[in-house]
Amino acid sequence: MKADQLNELGLDMKTVLALEVRVDWTPTSFKEYFKKMAEKMLHKSSTTELSTKEINQVYENIEKNIAEQLYADIIPFPTNEPEMKA
């Protein structure tokens, strides 16, 4: 059984769950993320309460957050300080 194998290897749940693992998006997981963003942004707990404009606001906010996370390390923020060399 997999649980026994993990225990024999000394890999407790805390160790395994702390590892960074890839978790792919599913339509359901994106919908749940969208609903959480809508609730935080607009204080509405159901997507049926959202207008078309509000849906677009939430979607644009998600897109903005994704872009910021993807490009934060790729495109450094401009600075006047000289670049440090390793």
Q: What is the pLDDT of residues 3-33, one digit of tens each?
A: 888 888 888 888 878 777 777 889 999 999 9
The answer as to whether 81 is a domain residue is: no
The answer as to whether 44 is a domain residue is: yes
The answer as to whether 78 is a domain residue is: no
Q: Is the separation of the CB atoms in 54 and 42 below 8 Å?
A: yes
The answer as to whether 86 is a domain residue is: no
* pTM of the predicted model as reported, rounded to 2 decimal places: 0.60
Q: Which pLDDT does position 52 carry in this prediction?
A: 93
Q: Which pLDDT does position 65 carry in this prediction?
A: 86
Q: Which is more confident, 77 or 36? A: 36
Q: How many domains does the chain have?
A: 1
The answer as to whether 59 is a domain residue is: yes
Q: Which two tokens stand for residue 9?
A: 């290897």
The answer as to whether 35 is a domain residue is: yes
Cα torsion angle, 6, 8, 11, 14, sign:
positive
Domain that residue 60 falls in: 23-73
Calculate mean pLDDT across residues 29-50: 93
pLDDT, averaged across the chain: 83
